[in-house]
Amino acid sequence: MTLQIPAGRARTSSARGAGGPSLSLTARHGIGFAMNPCASLLRLHAEAGPVAAVGSRRKPLVHLFGPDANAFVFANSGLFRWREAFDLLVPVNGETALIVSDGADHRRRRRLVQPAFHHRRVGAYVERMAANTDAALDGWRPGRTLDAYAELRSVIRRSTVEVLFGDRLAADAEVIGRRLQVALAGIDRNFILQLMLRSVPNPYWRRVTASRALVARRVDEEIDRRLREGTGGDDVLGMLMAARDEDGAGLTRRELQDQVISLISAGYDTTGAAMAWAVYALLTHPAAEERARREVADVLGDRPPAAGDLPALTYLDGVVSETLRLFPPAVLSARVPVEDFEYAGHRVPAGAMVFYSPYVTHRMPDVWPQAGRFRPERWDPSSDLYRPTTPATYLPFGGGPHRCIGSTLATVELKTMLACLLRRTRLRLVSPAATPTSVTAMRPRGGVPVEVVG
């Protein structure tokens, strides 16, 4: 196989083995990662440089850090397996979901699902997203204290189910969310603990499986109802049911079920986390909040946002982009190589677990000036902080053939909800501190407690 080596990253002939990780580094990283994965990854990069191997010698965990590493992974997608690296997501997403699919199966399923996320379709969702957000904000009375993360996550869950899969499933959004949350909590546990729980029968894992099965049953009921009525509907579920590949074959019942559940779970889990960080970032940067608030007032006046308003909200667009830079939904992503390869003087064995990290890349000072600071103006080409981005330097939704299919939907929803929030209310943080937790959908530990002040 021919490997694509990014410009500036010459391949060396005297490769060092990545299969000999330091035991002290492995222990420190393992303990640190369990306590604070984000801080641990930054520390590992600072100590080890662009390549760090931890874990066992036979199957090390190899971290490739920085834009060159990201470009290498994306350019050599055929070198890696995806399914094995994302096996822990199967209990929620299902065996055939895009996020756990490989090779030809992934290409076929993505071709069938992709049209549902065309930007014109996503633009049509803005009105419903705004209406659902405003309905929630009606209950945010001055003096009330609430968890903005939990409240807005619930709105996102309803909007996701409603715009993608119709009003009938949306009516059950809270029940679906509670069931899926049991499964999401299962895959959010410590990696080693997850392996242990899945290896032997136990009551907890039975609850995870049963909760997911109940959601699958509800999705099946909706599919059956549409088949009986002879109409798929004009939403995403209808498009998925009608989609056909070049051979005239559509998605199987299992594939339909898995795509629906994975889109619901990803749609509200990662977007909900990003929304929490956007609120937190604005409330800890009053000047940015006021600038965004003035822009929303100038563009919208006293009405909710519509799709045509979003392009005019340029500073708010910078708020969303900057939030996703500092707090990308996935702290790191994984691949498993199908054969040995060499990168930056290190030989990586087939079967190793290879990681790249959007979080670390986005906080590199040589890539991003004032990398650790929330500066939405950096996205304005006239700013001294502006830097053109590439898929290797800015990757909140991953990259390559497996880039998140719902990225446009997520950014539109974040921008729409923030516009509603800034138009309708003023908040004060109850606690100024927030610690990131989880690597599958990085969120603030303990939520974002706020007081409604206006």
Checking if the pLDDT of 360 tops 60, the result is yes
User: Which token pair is 105?
Assistant: 């199966």
User: Do 145 and 430 meet the contact criterion of CB atoms below 8 Å apart?
Assistant: yes
Parts of the chain belonging to CATH 3.30.43.20: 1-75+330-392
Q: How many Cβ atoms sit within 10 Å of the Cβ of residue 444?
A: 23
Q: In what order do the strands lie in the sheet with 60-64?
A: 51-55, 60-64, 353-356, 333-337, 80-81
pLDDT at 423: 97
Domain span(s) for CATH 1.10.630.10 in the chain: 90-329+396-452
CATH number of 1-75+330-392: 3.30.43.20
Q: What sign results for the dihedral spanned by CA atoms 225, 226, 227, 228?
A: positive
Q: Which of 75-79, 86-90, 159-163, 199-203 shows the lowest mean pLDDT across its residues?
A: 199-203
**How confident is the model over 314-342, as a mean pLDDT?**
95
Question: Please, which pLDDT band fits residue 203 given cuts at 50, 70 and 90?
Answer: confident
Check residue 268 and give its pLDDT.
81
**Listed residue (71, 99, 69) closest to 83, CA to CA:** 99
pLDDT of residue 10: 35
Q: What is the pLDDT of residue 14?
A: 31
What pLDDT, on the 0 to 100 scale, is given for residue 195?
Answer: 63
Pairing mode, strands 60-64 and 333-337: unpaired
Q: What is the pLDDT of residue 362?
A: 98
pTM of the model: 0.90
How would residue 239 be classed by pLDDT, with cut points 50, 70 and 90?
Answer: confident
Q: Give, in order, the Cα–Cα distances in Å from 367 to each of 52, 288, 331, 372, 394.
A: 20, 22, 17, 11, 10
Provide, rounded to the nearest whole percent, the portion of the chain with pLDDT above 90.
Answer: 52
pLDDT of 5 strictly over 50: no
Instruction: Give the least confident one: 104-118, 188-202, 255-269, 327-341.
Output: 188-202
Q: Is the pLDDT of residue 34 over 80?
A: no
Over the Cα atoms of the chain, what is R_g? Answer: 22
User: Would you say residue 294 has pLDDT above 50?
Assistant: yes
Six token digits for residue 143: 């003096």
Distance CA 76, CA 306 (A): 40
The listed CATH number (1.10.630.10, 3.40.50.720, 2.60.120.10, 1.20.1730.10) that belongs to domain 90-329+396-452? 1.10.630.10
Reported as type and span, the H/E element at residue 44 is helix 37-48
* pLDDT at res. 115: 82
For the stretch 135-162, pLDDT in tens is 999 999 999 999 999 999 999 999 988 8
Confidence at residue 316, expressed as pLDDT on a 0 to 100 scale: 98
Of 135-144, 233-242, 334-343, 421-430, the one with minimum mean pLDDT is: 233-242
pLDDT at 439 (0 to 100):
75
pLDDT of residue 7: 44
β-bridge partners, 17: 347
Q: So what's the pLDDT on residue 189?
A: 64
Average pLDDT, the chain: 87
